[in-house]
Amino acid sequence: MDSPLIVLYRAYLECLNSQAWEELSRYIDTHIAYNGEVIGLDAYRQARKDEFRSIPDLYFNVKLLVANEKVVACRLDFTISPMGDFLGLPVNGQSISFSENVFYEYEAGKIVRVWSLLDRAAIERQVSRP
């Protein structure tokens, strides 16, 4: 049986995957911090929208998920085809696979801090450079 925090986190991922942007405030704090910088809910929402716009096949796929009473740690696997550059690399619609290791800190049932690290080396190995 999943913990309440894991259930809440999975609902957040479903919100992202279904692009239910109006519901994002149910999961994200108004003053969310991303990788140490307070960016706020509006900027966080816009960043996710921009990702889906440039990566039409984006889907958050849980590979490993653990949680305690305040923190969720997740390894997300992606197979995507970004348009144009991705992380400064010329992907241009090529299908790439990589993982993201991400930690979420919760307060009062909402994500207040996110720390994310993408496996850029995996992407670099797959991208053809001119």
- 71: CATH: 3.10.450.50
Q: Which domain holds residue 118?
A: 4-126
Count of beta carbons in the 10 Å neighbourhood of residue 78: 21
Mean pLDDT of 94-103: 97
Could you say which DSSP state residue 23 is in? G
Q: Which amino acid is at 101?
A: N
| Confidence at residue 63, expressed as pLDDT on a 0 to 100 scale | 98
Total domain count, the chain: 1
Query: Token digits for 95?
Result: 């299908």
What's the pTM? 0.93
Is the confidence at residue 96, as pLDDT, over 80?
yes
Q: What percent of the chain has pLDDT over 90?
A: 93
Is the confidence at residue 114, as pLDDT, over 90?
yes
